[in-house]
A and B are shown apart, each in its own frame.
Chain A
Amino acid sequence: MTERSASRRVLAPALALAMALPLGVMVMRAFADAWRAPAVIPQGWGLRGLREALSGMALDALANSLVVAVVVTTAAVALAWPAARALGERRVRHPALPFLLLALPLLVPSYATGTGLTPWFLRLGLADTLAGLVLAHLVIVLPYVTVVLLSAFGPPVTALEEMARSQGLTTAQRLRWVTLPAVGPSLAAAVLLGFLVSWSEYGSSLAVGGGRPMLPLVLLPFVRSDPQVASALSLLFLAPAAAALVLAARAARSPL
Chain B
Amino acid sequence: MLFGGALAGAVRTSVTRLDAGGETLTLEAWRRLLRDPAFADAVLFSVRIAVLATACSAAVALLIALTLRRRGTSLRALAALPVPVPHLLVAVVAVLWLAPGGVADRLLGGLPVDVVRDRAGIGIVLVYVYKEAPFLALLLLAAMGRGMHEREEAAAVLGATWWQRLRWVVWPTVRGPLVVGCIVVAAFVLGAFEVPLAVGPNTPLTIAEYAQQATQDDLLAGEGLQAAALLVAAAASILLAVAAVRLAKDPQGD
The answer to whether A binds B is yes
Q: Tell whether, in the assembled complex, residue A104 and residue B88 are in contact, meaning their CB atoms are under 8 Å apart.
A: no
Q: How many interface contacts (CB-CB < 8 Å) are there between A and B? A: 181
Nearest 6 A/B pairs, CB to CB: A109-B191, A116-B10, A200-B86, A116-B6, A112-B230, A116-B9
Interface stretch of the complex, out of A8-16, A80-88, A152-160, A167-175: A8-16
Known: A139-B6, A220-B88, A237-B86. A40 touches B227 (CB 8 A): no
Q: Tell whether, in the assembled complex, residue B191 and residue A223 are in contact, meaning their CB atoms are under 8 Å apart.
A: no
Dominant SS among interface residues on chain A: helix
Contact sample, A vs B, 10 pairs, CB 8 Å cutoff: A25-B97, A107-B234, A109-B191, A112-B234, A120-B6, A202-B193, A216-B194, A220-B198, A237-B86, A241-B85
Interface stretch of the complex, out of B51-59, B73-81, B145-153, B164-172: B73-81
Q: How far is the CB of A6 from chain B (nearest CB, A)?
A: 13
Task: Tell me if B71 counts as interface (CB < 8 A to partner A).
Answer: yes
Q: Tell whether, in the assembled complex, residue A115 and residue B13 are in contact, meaning their CB atoms are under 8 Å apart.
A: yes
Task: Report the separation of the CA atoms of residues A82 and B247 in the bound assembly, to the nearest whole angstrom.
Answer: 34
Q: Tell whether, in the assembled complex, residue B241 and residue A25 are in contact, meaning their CB atoms are under 8 Å apart.
A: no
Task: Report the separation of the CA atoms of residues A5 and B208 in the bound assembly, to the nearest whole angstrom.
Answer: 47
Q: How far is the CB of B200 from chain A (nearest CB, A)?
A: 11
Task: Report the separation of the CA atoms of residues A192 and B83 in the bound assembly, to the nearest whole angstrom.
Answer: 11
Segment 79-130 of B: residues with Cβ below 8 Å from A: 79, 81-82, 84-93, 95-97, 101, 103, 105-107, 109, 130
Q: Tell whether, in the assembled complex, residue B92 and residue A108 are in contact, meaning their CB atoms are under 8 Å apart.
A: no
Q: What 1/0 mask marks residues of chain A from 92 to 121 whose CB sits below 8 Å from any chain B CB?
A: 000000000101111111111111111110
* Minimal Cβ-Cβ distance residue in B for A196: B84
Known: A111-B193, A112-B231, A244-B84. A37 touches B106 (CB 8 A): yes
Known: A231-B96, A238-B85. A109 touches B234 (CB 8 A): yes
Chain A residues within 8 Å of chain B by Cβ, number: 59
Q: Across the interface, which residues of B come within 8 angstroms of A196, CB to CB?
A: 84, 86
Q: Which residues of B contact A (CB under 8 A)?
A: 2-3, 5-13, 67-68, 71, 74-75, 78-79, 81-82, 84-93, 95-97, 101, 103, 105-107, 109, 130, 183-184, 187, 190-194, 197-199, 208, 211-212, 226-227, 230-231, 233-234, 237-238, 241
Q: Across the interface, which residues of A come within 8 angstroms of B84, CB to CB?
A: 192, 196, 241-242, 244-245
